[in-house]
């Protein structure tokens, strides 16, 4: 279950295109050469990058708040993408 850089770059290119970052998409497509990588994106749904990151964040939150014995740690602090969680 590892991720190749071609796969990751493909997800990013899709995000740039879907978000209207047309200049970035053009440049990244050429610089990453992901267009020629042979990645088959026909089954990748819209918003895939955001969706994976959201699930990744949920995963982190669970990791932080579940004890080894399965009980939950009570926590009122918001869990955020870029800030450390205390």
* Interface positions with its own copies (CB under 8 A): 1-5, 7-8, 10-12, 15-16, 19, 21-24, 26-28, 30-32, 39-41, 43-44, 48-61, 78-84
Rounded CA separation 41/10 (Å): 8
Q: Which is nearer to its own copies, 46 or 57 (CB)?
A: 57
Q: Which is nearer to its own copies, 72 or 84 (CB)?
A: 84
From the CB of 11, what's the least distance to its own copies, in Å? 7
Q: Which is nearer to its own copies, 46 or 80 (CB)?
A: 80
Q: Are 37 and 5 in contact (CB under 8 A)?
A: no
From the CB of 35, what's the least distance to its own copies, in Å? 11
DSSP 72: B
Cα-based distances in Å from 17 to 11, 13, 40, 49, 74: 10, 6, 16, 12, 40
């Amino acid at each position: 279950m590892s991720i190749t850089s071609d796969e990751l770059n493909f997800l990013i290119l899709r995000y740039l295109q879907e978000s209207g970052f047309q200049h970035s998409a053009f440049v990244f497509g050429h610089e990453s050469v992901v267009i020629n990588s042979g990645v088959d994106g026909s089954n990748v749904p819209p918003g895939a990058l955001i969706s994976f990151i959201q699930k990744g964040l949920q995963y982190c939150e669970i990791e932080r708040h579940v004890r080894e014995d399965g009980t939950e740690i009570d926590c009122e602090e918001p869990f955020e993408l870029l800030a450390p969680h205390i």
